[in-house]
Chains A and B, each alone.
Chain A
Amino acid sequence: MAKVTMAQALNTALRDALREDERVLVFGEDVGPLGGVFRITDGLTRDFGEQRCFDTPLAEAGIVGLAVGMAMGGFRPVVEMQFDAFAYPAFEQIASHVAKTRNRTRGRIGLPMVIRIPYAGGIGGVEHHCDSSEAYYAHTPGLKVATPATAEDAYWLLRDAVADPDPVVFLEPKKLYWSREDTDLQTREALPFGRAAIRRAGRDATLIAYGPSVPVALAAAEAAAADGIELEVVDLRTLVPFDDETVTESVRRTGRCVVVQEAQGFAGVGAEIAARVQERCFHSLAAPVLRVAGFDIPYPPPKLEHAHLPGVDRILDAVDRLQFADEPDTRHLVKGAVA
């Protein structure tokens, strides 16, 4: 076992994918000699050559559109969008072509490609560098959406994404790039792509989280345990496919559920999860499903992001409200975006 950061795990995943399959290509803005602004592609051009990892002109639609043509041509592109909000120029390519090519061609042409996007906040970034854009992608049929919360998952989810016959939007929580953990990337212990992980077992309520919110949910569970409340923490790992089974099974057992997301709450992924849980676990629920989300505001300036990001206290508040099942406090069902 060695200490690795999520950034190192991602770099190793790209390295191993490039080594094992010569159809794999890495390209984007500054991913070549610089190694990407977050150094996720560090050393790849040096070790695999310019043919395998290269800089492109500065144009996101161009990068994704080029990847579509190259995937049609038999390659497996792994492209980097420099930051979440800078992927928007490519959105048309993603929504109209990346997502739909298999469907348009009646299954004759699939697009095995990965769009890596450093996303979400918590790093003191200026505007356009901290968006949580997962709902756009998760709402688009034909895309798979993954977001790791641990270094081990960063490695295996990315390996699985590269090997997948379908396009994957791979959302990398920036604030977790430098978090370290003890793991041996070579021996697979991670779950398969599409399965959610139970990060902490508990009997009193289920916290459902993904990506940047997983460590926050775990910290909340730790704090709750001190008060004798045992929270189960489910890490979704992939938003599409969505693992209804693990989620449903957990909530049926605990009878209570809080969905945690960093993204703005309105029409977000958390709303989808809350609805699904309600539909599937209604008779097991002792309280309404609550959401803890970011506010419905454009991502705040760095000095104010602490006010926006759901933290341990906001989660614990929601958990408190779950306890009064007979007398639900409906005044603030959702802490954060939806009042």
Chain B
Amino acid sequence: MSVKSLRQTVQGLLPSLTPVRFVAEDGTRVARPSADYTEPPLEALLEAWRRMVLGRRFDTQATALTKQGRLAVYPSSRGQEACQIGAVLALRPDDWLFPTYRDSVALVTRGIDPVEVLTLLRGDWHCGYDPAVTRTAPQCTPLATQVLHATGMAESLRRKGEGGVAMALVGDGATSEGDFHEALNFAAVFRAPVVFFVQNNKYAISVPLARQTAAPALAYKGIGHGVRSEQVDGNDLVAVLAVLAAAVEHARAGHGPVLVEAHTYRMDAHTNADDATRYREDDEVEQWRSADPVDRLETYLRSRGALTDEDVAGLREEAEELAARVRAGMNADSVLDPLELFDHVYAEPTPQLREQRAQLAAELADTTQAQED
């Protein structure tokens, strides 16, 4: 390779020096947005804003449900709405999404029933929706393992030749795991149509980014693997959508994988069980409050004359309806059949599982009998 073409290749892989941004924190359009990306059309932004308001309401409702003991645990994504919603809106319904435990708002945005989204966290089953129908993998708890599954799925989609794309959502801490790097490497070698979307929310539970990596940005992790990379302001929905749409198109067109790092912030603790004051200062949280992705988009859309007070009030109402539906669904006691535990270990239960099923059935019958006596 000549020095010139080498330089071109390297530059083609590298992210922009600062995160791509269209809308500043105060909701005004930045003077010179990146020339490499086009601003999504207004209808797309309006739809995204709708989803963000609904997503935020879902998130606060889920957090409230943990206080009432209805959810075993809930990892909030408050503050990350632009990322989660931008990711889903950049995909077609028949593309595949590989989310983590934190990405519940993305799943609601994908159109999955909110009660099914919460099945895992409520403790009813490990996944409440049908991954094949929703084209959404189960929310992944072991860190970064799903990034490889997304790569495998992307390779399947490539072989089928129907232009499908897979997207893996992953946190900043998880980029330190081996599976993340193996996935980047595999995807690059196979030119698999996969987008790796890192939501850098600055903490892995308590560990700050500086303790996680010495890289100038997580986006630079792509270049060593030959994966094109980009970084984006993760609280600017306009930029997230523009960058992810381009990344998805790149992958769909057969040009291989893309890594996108979004700079964002988790406003709440890691989960409701975590005490964030032990590892971060209130000042820092307050600073990020002024970068709020929902407010920012609303201000921007108002400035463009695309939103009225009436629209906003109307959507608030819709959000309250969603919250009420979630509450109603979660307040209904779930009907669970313990015998189902044996049904999904293998396609056909082994003789041992049949015996154990019969044993549990007898135990349950005894308990029922004892209760009746």
Contacts and interface: CB of A to CB of B under 8 A. Distances in A.
Interface of A: 51, 56-57, 59, 61-62, 64-75, 89, 92-93, 96-97, 100-110, 141-142, 144, 164-166, 194, 240-242, 244-245
A142 B345 contact: yes
A217 to B, nearest CB: 24
B2 interface: no
Given A97-B149, A165-B347, A56 B186 contact: yes
B149 A59 contact: no
B245 interface: no
B185 A108 contact: no
A102 B131 contact: no
Contact of A109 (B131, B152, B156, B345): B131
Task: Tell me the dominant secondary structure on chain B's binding face.
Answer: helix
17 contacts: A65-B151, A66-B155, A69-B156, A70-B153, A72-B156, A75-B159, A92-B145, A93-B148, A93-B179, A96-B142, A105-B130, A105-B138, A105-B344, A106-B340, A194-B350, A240-B350, A244-B352
Contacts of A105: 126-127, 130-131, 138, 344
Contacts of B94: none
Nearest to B225: A57
Contacts of A104: 126-127, 138
A110 B348 CA distance: 11
A241 B154 CA distance: 32
A173 to B, nearest CB: 23
Interface residues on B, range: 35 or more
A103 to B, nearest CB: 5
A51 B161 CA distance: 13
A102 B125 CA distance: 12
A59 B182 contact: yes
Given A103-B345, A105-B131, A165-B347, A68 B156 contact: no
Contact of B148 (A51, A62, A110, A141): A62
B347 A69 contact: no
A91 to B, nearest CB: 11
B34 to A, nearest CB: 32
B189 to A, nearest CB: 6
Interface in B125-163: 125-127, 130-133, 137-138, 142, 145, 147-157, 159-160
Nearest to B98: A69
A59 B186 contact: yes
Interface of B: 125-127, 130-133, 137-138, 142, 145, 147-157, 159-160, 166, 178-179, 182-183, 185-186, 189, 340, 343-347, 350-352
Contact of A57 (B127, B150, B186, B343): B186
A104 B125 CA distance: 7
Candidate in B126, B166, B182 with the most chain A CB atoms within 10 angstroms? B182
Contacts, number: 136
A297 B166 CA distance: 45
Nearest to A70: B152
Contacts of B159: 51, 75
B131 A108 contact: yes
A155 to B, nearest CB: 23
Nearest to A71: B152
Nearest to B134: A108
B130 to A, nearest CB: 5
A61 B344 contact: no
B166 to A, nearest CB: 8
B132 A108 contact: yes
Contacts of B125: 106
A310 to B, nearest CB: 26
A245 B351 contact: yes
Contacts of B137: 72
Nearest to B344: A107
Contacts of A106: 125-127, 340, 344
**Interface centre among A69, A93, A104, by most B CB within 10 Å?**
A69
B152 A73 contact: yes
A242 B159 CA distance: 37
A69 B149 CA distance: 4
B331 to A, nearest CB: 22
B352 A62 contact: no
B340 to A, nearest CB: 8
A62 B347 contact: no
Nearest to A60: B182
A69 B343 contact: no
Given A59-B182, A65-B151, A66-B151, A244 B344 contact: no
B344 A72 contact: no
Contacts of A165: 346-347
Given A92-B145, A108-B131, A61 B182 contact: yes
Contacts of A100: 126
B185 A62 contact: yes
Given A51-B159, A57-B189, A144-B346, A68 B182 contact: no
Contacts of B138: 101, 104-105
A62 to B, nearest CB: 3
Contacts of A61: 145, 148, 178-179, 182
